[in-house]
Chain A
Amino acid sequence: MILDGKCPTGPIETTWDRHRFESKLVNPSNKRKFKILCVGTGLAGGAAAASLGELGYNVHAFCYQDSARRAHSIAAQGGINAAKNYPNDGDSIYRLFYDTIKGGDFRAREADVWRLAQVSNNIIDQCVAQGVPFARDYAGYLDNRSFGGAQVSRTFYARGQTGQQLLLGAYSALCRQVKAKTVTLHERREMLDLVVVDGVAKGITCRNMVTGEIESHWGDAVILATGGYVNVFYLSTNAMGCSVTAAWKAARKGAYMANPCYTQIHPTCIPQSGEHQSKLTLMSESLRNDGRCWVPKKKEDCDKPAGSIPEEDRDYYLERKYPSFGNLAPRDIASRAAKEQCDDERGVGPGKRGVYLDYQSAIDRVGEDTIRERYGNLFEMYEKITDENAYKQPMRIYPAPHYAMGGLWVDYNCMSNVPGLFVLGEANFSVHGANRLGASALMQGLADGYFVIPYTIAGYLATVKPGEITAEHPEFKKSADEVKGTIDKMLSINGKKTPAELHRELGKVMWENVGMARSDSSLKAALKMIPEIREEFWNNVKVTGKNGEFNQQLENAGRLADFLEFAEILTKDALNREESCGGHFRVEHQTDDGEAMRNDEDFCYVAAWEFKGNGVEPEMHKEPLKFENIKLAVRSYK
């Protein structure tokens, strides 16, 4: 089936304004009659719930943490983009639009990206009004920094905690609506099913994580803003609780999963230190401005202290391979290059999965104090985790799964193919194509939540009768029974392996076969192993305790069960996509010098997968991508 993204056509500059004008509205006095469920309180969900509550809708917001303020958006460090052009360095909405399309390797929709760039400026104003303490210069104006993939300085930041400050801004707006009684918060709730009535999303089933109670919630529309899925790799920069569960439950109810193979591996993370490792910590990309990546030329040098290896025996591989971009090569390229060195057995540190990021030449050039000023907090964090002083010896870094560009398929209105189900933020697939530029995820989350959904959801609600279907409908009981059945099943297996052990096994398969370099044979091998682990899970997992209590093992097991199904679709998508683009690198499709080779002739489309059950081939639906404003070109960083 050919999918229609319902993108407005005509001059790109006017698409969003025309669409807003043409959308239906909900009469102000009717708004409170509509109940909207918003799952997720990160940047996307928090902003959406607050804005919709303020408009007068009856909003119910859900999160799995103990407070709405703790969504993983909180961990974003670097910054948020906007086309303000305050530095007068040539930025514009058009340039942000162009950079995002190009950065995504020409695999995103033009109209969606245009809208994102257009509303980016409103976001900064909104956050300032909320009291977000962005960095300022001495004259009192907002300060900007530069980020990868752009030649202008358009990134706004709040020290190294931009995500935290933006999220606290959205959370405070949410608090204001809770006080106004337009928003009801449901914390420590995990959504475990989407309730669909006659093909339309009408509610959710969730588990109260304190009491174990299975709750039914009905709504006239359901919003999922539940974040990304890279914990499918087990080790990633995501929080421990991040999962694909909410999105996957929707997929099981008919929502299409788009481009799941587009995952971003971030090059500068602290390497794994041992089997005990539970997550990986990101070190800001800005570190590569002054650090030089190298590994020993000779394998036998890998165990020696870095300082004892003479200059001529070091391989500054990024400078060697990409002389013009050097250490600032983009994320996907830098990550793959680090992997190649380690595959060549020239990696350093425990397990030999690490490369050096060396500050010695920068310290010699500008002095230790300047380096401390620029990166002091990062060096401190590095020392806390590794016990190594990066002023005295090079840092060790290694790539780690970081971000999901793929996600549930949505049209221009952020509505999935299941009417009434809207998907925002990292959970949808819409704007980053095959690769996301730094500082653009925060922008997308807030754009979707503050400035897109308040308009587009009205167009949908104007066509439904409020409260027509409530939790009395038999589908709710059916869904609750199914959820209980799955929980009982997991608890009754009483096997030998813990959820963490099995998750680690899945992660290893995914990382080694569906990670930075994918091949026909590695993907096929993964497709053999994933069902085996799934099989073992359903026969040999051990989940302690019972449902009617605070039970973290049960939570972990449920999330893993969903990853075990989702992993297969991710891998199938990677196998289908016979090209290399952005974060998706197929070793068969590269130039002689290892550059990604896109295939626009055959793959300039969105692959939206319909799940049809385990052991059944999923069906792919295509949405062709049309480029009317930007010419397809090769991304080159030589």
Chain B
Amino acid sequence: MNLTLNVWRQNGAGDKGRMEQYQAKNVSPDSSFLEMLDEVNEELIREGKEPIAFDHDCREGICGMCSQVINGKPHGGQDRTTVCQLHMRSFKDGDAIFIEPWRAKAFPVLRDLAVDRNALDRIMEAGGYTSCHTGGVADGNALLIGKPEADYAMDAAECIGCGACVAGCLNSSAMLFTSAKVAQLATLPQGKVEAAKRVKSMTAELKAQGFGNCTNHYECQASCPKGIDVKFIATLNREYIKALVK
């Protein structure tokens, strides 16, 4: 199949950036979206032009590195699918496709489609852990954890930290990301001890990093390639209120 690509090109944070058009020819419907871009890049190199920069690594939907807004939707908007797992058969011959980077104040563009997402790491550093030491911990079965709690924690822990929730949110809020970690750890007995401190410092950091407020539009859940549920935001809010009264 043949496609017309409109791709955001921007050489570093200092550049204003612009959309540029490319033709992707003879694309195999079995190739992934990133493999399609690989071929376009090979062609660009042969023509002596600069290839399109984009982040990617595992190409199996788990590392969270790939990050593109395709036709206005983070990761292309297919249910529970990252860009690297999106396949060309979901497009039609002759389609025009618009490809842009994550857009958020907290995620400055590094080049073309690659952005700086380290603000998410800063939120994690603010409290996304249990303060256990290496060694000297209790036996894994010393504290029993009911299957429903373990499953709830796991549902939250599936977040891959890609930032699609931020890219999909009109406030550029990282609430879903933050709530997933808060909920995971607040649900498990190992994380409960520090739950109050954690929720306060992580939400404070979220603001400090320039992410917006959550106004309950739930575009984050729709954008999430792992189907992280907005119910974790409710959990975060509950934890936050509990922390305030403490």
Contacts and interface: CB of A to CB of B under 8 A. Distances in A.
Contact of A65 (B30, B57, B111, B143): B57
Contact of B184 (A131, A134, A498): A131
A126 B137 contact: yes
B129 A68 contact: no
Nearest to A71: B63
A187 B116 CA distance: 11
B239 to A, nearest CB: 14
Interface size grouping (class) on chain A: 35 or more
Interface in A381-408: 384-387
A74 interface: yes
Interface string B39-53: 100100110111101
A451 interface: yes
Interface in B133-155: 133-135, 137-141, 143-147, 150-151, 153-154
A70 B64 contact: yes
B132 interface: yes
Interface in A125-178: 125-142, 158-159, 161, 164-165, 168, 171-173, 175-176, 178
A84 interface: yes
Contacts of A384: 81, 85, 87
Given A498-B46, A500-B42, A550 B114 contact: yes
Nearest to A169: B129
A60 B208 CA distance: 25
Given A545-B50, A549-B111, A135 B134 contact: no
Contact of B59 (A51, A69, A240, A498): A240
Contacts of B131: 176
Contacts of A158: 154, 157
Interface stretch (B92-100, B118-126, B214-222): B118-126
A70 B134 contact: no
B57 A240 contact: yes
B72 interface: no
A277 B137 CA distance: 45
A213 interface: no
Contacts of A139: 144
A127 B140 CA distance: 8
Contact of B137 (A128, A161, A176): A128
Contacts of A450: 134-135
Nearest to B127: A179
Contacts of B55: 66
B196 interface: no
A545 B41 CA distance: 13
B111 A550 contact: yes
A604 interface: no
A531 interface: no
Contacts of B128: 172, 175
Interface string B190-225: 110000000000000000000000000000000000
Interface in A101-146: 122, 124-142
A276 interface: yes
B161 A69 contact: yes
B180 to A, nearest CB: 11
B138 A72 contact: no
Contact of A173 (B42, B64, B134, B158): B134
Task: Name the residue among A159, A175, A178, A553 with the largest chain B CB count within 10 angstroms.
Answer: A175
A210 interface: yes
A124 B45 CA distance: 48
A342 to B, nearest CB: 19
A175 B124 contact: yes
Interface string A38-82: 000000000100110010000000000111111010110000000
Nearest to B65: A70
A480 B157 CA distance: 41
Contact of B58 (A75, A172, A542): A75
A178 B123 CA distance: 12
A70 B57 contact: yes
Interface size grouping (class) on chain B: 35 or more
B110 interface: yes
Contacts of A468: none
B163 to A, nearest CB: 10
Given A54-B133, A139-B144, A185-B121, A72 B58 contact: yes
B71 interface: no
Contact of B191 (A131, A141, A277): A131
A454 B133 CA distance: 13
Contacts of A12: none
Contacts of A72: 57-58, 63
B193 to A, nearest CB: 11
A276 B125 contact: no
Contact of B50 (A65, A134, A544): A544
B5 to A, nearest CB: 16
Nearest to A277: B35
A274 B30 contact: yes
Task: Name the residue among B12, B28, B81, B134 with the largest chain A CB count within 10 angstroms.
Answer: B134
Nearest to B226: A161
Contacts of B20: none
Contacts of B65: 65-66, 70
Contact of B63 (A65, A131, A159): A65
Contact of B38 (A134, A239, A276): A276
Interface string B150-192: 1101100110110000000000000000000000110010110
Contacts of A173: 129, 132, 134
A497 to B, nearest CB: 9
Contacts of B120: 67
Contacts of B158: 159, 161, 164
Contacts of A553: 45, 51
A69 B46 CA distance: 35
Nearest to B120: A67
Contacts of A278: 32, 34-35, 38, 59
Contact of A276 (B28, B57, B85): B28
Interface string A224-248: 0000000000000001110000000
B125 A51 contact: no
A314 interface: no
Given A175-B124, A450-B135, A131 B62 contact: no
Contacts of B87: 384-385, 387
Given A75-B58, A131-B184, 7 more contacts: A65-B63, A70-B58, A126-B134, A131-B188, A172-B128, A179-B125, A241-B57
Interface of B: 11-12, 28, 30-32, 34-36, 38-39, 42, 45-46, 48-51, 53, 55-60, 62-65, 81, 85, 87, 89, 110-111, 114, 116-118, 120-121, 124-126, 128-135, 137-141, 143-147, 150-151, 153-154, 157-158, 160-161, 184-185, 188, 190-191
10 tightest Cβ-Cβ pairs between the two chains A and B: A140-B144, A172-B129, A129-B137, A550-B111, A129-B132, A133-B153, A133-B154, A136-B150, A128-B140, A51-B134
Interface of A: 47, 50-51, 54, 65-70, 72, 74-75, 84, 86, 122, 124-142, 158-159, 161, 164-165, 168, 171-173, 175-176, 178-179, 185, 187, 210, 239-241, 273-274, 276-279, 281-282, 384-387, 450-451, 454, 498, 500-501, 542, 544-545, 549-550, 552-553
27 contacts: A54-B133, A67-B117, A68-B121, A70-B63, A70-B65, A72-B63, A75-B58, A128-B137, A131-B185, A133-B157, A134-B140, A135-B150, A141-B141, A142-B141, A164-B160, A173-B134, A210-B116, A239-B59, A239-B63, A240-B58, A240-B59, A450-B135, A498-B46, A500-B38, A549-B11, A549-B12, A549-B111
